[in-house]
Amino acid sequence: MKVLAILYDGFKAAQQEPRLLGTVENKLGLAEWLKSRGHEYIVSSSKEGPDSDFQKHIQDAEVLITTPFHPGYLTRDLVQKAKNLKLCITAGVGSDHIDLNAAVDHKIQVLEVSGSNVTSVAEHVVMSILLLVRNFVPAHEMIERGDWQVSDIARQAFDLEGKVVGTIGAGRIGYRVLQRLVPFNTKELLYYDYAPLPEEAARAIKARRVEDLEEFVSQCDVVTLNAPLHEGTRGLINDKLLAKFKPGAWLVNTARGAICDRDAVARALQSGQLSGYAGDVWNVQPAPKDHVWRTMKNPLGGGNGMVPHHSGSTLDAQARYADGTKKILENYLDGKAQEAQNVIVGLGKYETKAYGRR
Binding mask 248-287 for a copy of itself (x = CB under 8 A): --------------------------------x----xxx
Q: What's the closest the beta carbon of residue 186 comes to a copy of itself, in angstroms?
A: 11
Q: What is d(CA 284, CA 282) in angstroms, rounded to the nearest whole number?
A: 5
117 catalytic? Reply is yes
291 catalytic? Reply is no
Contact positions with a copy of itself (CB under 8 A) in 148-177: 148-155, 157-162
The single residue among 90, 119, 226, 275 that binds a copy of itself, judged by CB under 8 A, is 119
Q: Given 109, 135, 285, 318, which residue is catalytic?
A: 285
Nearer to a copy of itself, 154 or 340 (CB): 154
Residues in the interface with a copy of itself (CB under 8 A) total 74
Binding mask 123-152 for a copy of itself (x = CB under 8 A): xx-xx--xx--xxxx-xx-xxx-x-xxxxx
CA atoms 67, 73, 75, 81: torsion sign: negative
What phi-psi label fits residue 317: left (phi over 0), alpha (psi between -120 and 50 degrees) or beta? alpha
Interaction of residue 306 with a copy of itself, rule CB under 8 A = yes
3-class DSSP state for residue 11?
helix
Q: What's the closest the beta carbon of residue 309 comes to a copy of itself, in angstroms?
A: 7
Query: Side chain identity at 149, as an amino acid letter?
Result: Q
270 catalytic? Reply is no
The reply to whether omega before 286 is within 30° of 0 (cis) is: yes
Contact positions with a copy of itself (CB under 8 A) in 211-250: none
284: phi then psi, degrees, rounded to nearest 5 = -130, 140
Q: Which residues are annotated as a binding site?
A: 93, 117, 172-173, 193, 228-232, 254, 280, 309-312
Following CA atoms 24, 25, 28, 33 in sequence, which dihedral angle do they give, to the nearest 10 degrees? 120
Q: Given 70, 97, 124, 256, which residue is catalytic?
A: 256
Nearer to a copy of itself, 148 or 358 (CB): 148
Contact positions with a copy of itself (CB under 8 A) in 26-85: 69-70
Q: Are 93 and 118 in contact (CB under 8 A)?
A: yes
Q: With b meaning 16 or more CB within 10 Å and e meaning fewer, what string describes 125-148?
A: bbbbbbbbbebbbbbeeeeeeeee
Q: Are 281 and 254 in contact (CB under 8 A)?
A: yes
357 catalytic? Reply is no
Q: Which residues are annotated as a binding site for NAD(+)?
A: 172-173, 193, 228-232, 254, 280, 309-312
Catalytic residues: 117, 256, 285, 309
